[in-house]
Amino acid sequence: MSLITLKSRREIGLMRAAGHVVAGAHAVAREMLVPGVTTQEIDNAVEEFFRKEKVTSLFKGFPGQVPYPAVTCISINEQIVHGIPGGRRLEEGDIVSLDTACRKDRWCGDSAWTYAIGEVSAEKQKLMEVGEQSLALTIEALKTEKRWSDVAQRMMDLVKQAGFSLVDQFVGHGIGQEMHEPPQVPNFFSKKTRADDFEIQPGLVLAIEPMINAGTKNVRILADHWTAVTTDGRPSVHFEHTVAITSNGPEILTAGVGDPNFVYSP
């Protein structure tokens, strides 16, 4: 495993400021998540918000087979992650996973949330509830568990009991001055991931991001080289917070994301 860099209280404070801007970006997007809006319009609004806040998008230009072209990933229904904004208009009954990240004063914040557009099906509603519960349970488990494998096992048990599946092709990650730092943070645990297990200790800052499918865990990447979809066409959700482990327990540095009552103030 690559060397894990623990963050000081001062550095966590700087990351908290970056996470606050990410929560503000989600608040901007949340107000626009209504039938008829295009995903490009949402992305444009978040990009303008980042410009006003004088922060740098961590997504736009991110290297791949083609550089990522937007400041948000907006994934709808069967799209799991990395959906590219464009001319698609949101419709009543859609679920939308919005992911974004920024760097402020050299430090990063990253968060995703799945939102309902109007009334959604019972399956989608349950999937969203289980996704949000799995993230909350994981953060709570960081208070008592000693190793990540024990935390991941609790997430796996919750999702399995609900009859859903955890995506294992994508994982969470450490985060700091770079968006992706050691360690890898899988949402599952197996013999293959045993070598990647790590101790839960103060100074760790993790982007924890369960992606949960209603049906199969299997993934297919579309021709745009980015958008990941479920192979069976059933819906998926994505919930992510940047979380610091402190001497007082876990702290959500992207607090406010997913909270309909959150109001951003610089």
The residue extents of the domains of the chain are 9-252
C-alpha R_g of the chain: 17
Model-level pTM?
0.97
Residue count of the chain, please give it. 266
Q: Which CATH architecture has domain 9-252?
A: Alpha-Beta Complex (3.90)
Query: How far, in Å, are 12, 77, 204, 213 from residue 247 at the CA level?
Result: 12, 39, 11, 34
Residues whose CB is less than 8 angstroms from the CB of residue 86 and which lie 6 or more positions away in sequence, other chains included: 38, 39, 40
Dihedral sign, CA of 195, 196, 200, 201? positive
pLDDT tens, per residue, the chain with 266 residues: 579 999 999 999 999 999 999 999 999 999 999 999 999 999 999 999 999 999 999 999 999 999 999 999 999 999 999 999 999 999 999 999 999 999 999 999 999 999 999 999 999 999 999 999 999 999 999 999 999 999 999 999 999 999 999 999 999 999 999 999 999 999 988 766 667 799 999 999 999 999 999 999 999 999 999 999 999 999 999 999 999 999 999 999 999 999 999 999 99
Q: By CB neighbour count within 10 A (0-12 exposed, 13-18 middle, 19+ buried), where does 130 fall? A: buried
AA letter at 95: I
